[in-house]
Amino acid sequence: MRRAIAYCQWKARYWENAETPKENCTTQEEFVLYEGVRAYTRHQADYERRRASQWEDEWRAIRERAAFVLTSQLSQTGPNILAAPALVVELELDYDDSMENEEIGEP
């Protein structure tokens, strides 16, 4: 998940840098096109930043647990192993049964 979050952050920077300079516009049509492209790139950059932030929030507990296990439990052996505290994670399931019905020949 770390890589997915890093990708979203990279993609946001990509969209921020994708704007062309306003000085390149020599006609009204080019300026109108520039404004549209600028709005689109800003929208895409904002979308990627929000998605990275959302994933960071949703996966924080799991990432902290993984860090705990990697730093404390794997280096210990025998009866001295620290028990990890219970972790409750809420999952949002998107189940679309329309695909299932189509696969078995139902409309």
Residue 41: the pLDDT is: 94
Is 56's pLDDT higher than 90? yes
Structural domain that includes position 95: 2-103
- Its pTM stands at 0.63
Euclidean distance between CA atoms 50 and 5, whole angstroms: 10
Confidence of residue 64 (pLDDT cuts 50, 70, 90): confident
Euclidean distance between CA atoms 1 and 55, whole angstroms: 8
Lowest mean pLDDT among 59-68, 80-89, 92-101: 92-101
DSSP secondary structure of 21-84: PGGG--SHHHHHHHHHHHHHHHHHHHHHHHHHHHHHHHHHHHHHHHHHIIIIITT--GGGPPPP
Count how many domains the chain has: 1
Euclidean distance between CA atoms 48 and 42, whole angstroms: 10
Confidence of residue 103 (pLDDT cuts 50, 70, 90): low
